[in-house]
Structure 1
Amino acid sequence: MDGGKYVVRQLNKLLSKYKKSVSDGYVCSPLSLSRTVSARSRMNRESSRREYLFVVETLPGWSMFEVTVHREGNGSGHEFSDLDDISRINMYGFQSHCTDDWRLKKHCFCVKVERKPHG
């Protein structure tokens, strides 16, 4: 499992799901993985669930996220944590100025959409 890439794919799905919550003329830029800063795992013996704690850095914006991903038993499937479990661990300042939606605010890197002239 490449956990960092998995986390970024899930973040991009989230950004896409709520894209109508962004101001006209802007979009939340798709994120790409700059690097996986850390990855730790532990087994929850009561539930036979493995928990992975990832810290990833994404571009644009050098955003840092901490997220827990769960994996049931020894299977190959992944169960991504709820949105509440995703933490932005560095400041985002003005990067998310194009949305007031709490689901996007800490994840969105706003970029202006270039409009092509008609004709």
Structure 2
Amino acid sequence: MRLLIEATNHAVKSINQILSKYPQCPALSLASITGAKAVKGLAEEKLEQYQILFGTKPNNASFEATMSRGNTNEWSVSGTIDRTNLYGNQSYCVDDREAKLYCYCAN
């Protein structure tokens, strides 16, 4: 479980890096891990991969991310972090397409 929490926290950190350009979007934190499964990695690269479903707060958002870890033991996002629930008008304060997926406008 610690491994999944570590990987998911890295995914949330990646989202927060995108949001850091927008002061009107507060940082998100991990609310829950709702699902996870191991994905077959590349044996020659000794790559570990997990597909993780998780929720964040304060925006009550649900996301799916594939997280990878190789020999360096550092997590990275494989592909994109996808929002899996509707966000309605939560991101009205930003125009950037990528930020709209993650932003929860504070005002």
Which bin holds the TM-score, normalised by the shorter protein? Answer: 0.7 to 0.9
Per the TM alignment, residue 42 of structure 1 is displaced from its structure 2 partner at its CA by: 2.5
Q: Greater CA radius of gyration, 1 or 2?
A: 1
Q: Is the contact between residue 4 and residue 35 of structure 1 (CA under 8 Å) also seen in structure 2?
A: no
1:15 paired with 2:19, answer yes
Per the TM alignment, residue 33 of structure 1 is displaced from its structure 2 partner at its CA by: 0.9
Q: Aligned to 1:94, what secondary structure does the other structure show? A: coil
1:88 paired with 2:88, answer no
What's the Cα RMSD here?
Answer: 1.7
Query: After TM superposition, which residue ranges in structure 1, 4 or more long, deviate above 4 angstroms?
Result: none
Per the TM alignment, residue 47 of structure 1 is displaced from its structure 2 partner at its CA by: 4.1
1:60 paired with 2:54, answer no
TM-score (norm: length of structure 1): 0.76
Q: Distance in 2 between matches of 1:5 and 1:71?
A: 13
Q: Distance in 2 between matches of 1:61 and 1:87?
A: 15
Residue by residue, what CA displacement relative to the aligned partner does 1:61-99 show, whole Å, maximum 9, x if unpaired? 2100001111114x42222234xx211000000000001
Q: Distance in 1 between matches of 2:34 and 2:55?
A: 7
Q: Is the contact between residue 11 and residue 81 of structure 2 (CA under 8 Å) also seen in structure 1?
A: no
Count of paired positions = 102
Q: Aligned to 1:11, what secondary structure does the other structure show? A: helix
TM-score (norm: length of structure 2): 0.83
Fraction of identical pairs, as percent: 30
Q: Aligned to 2:9, what secondary structure does the other structure show? A: helix
Query: When you count helix as a share of all residues, which structure comes out higher?
Result: 2
The 5-angstrom pairing of residues 68-83 of structure 1 reads 68-73=66-71, 75-82=72-79
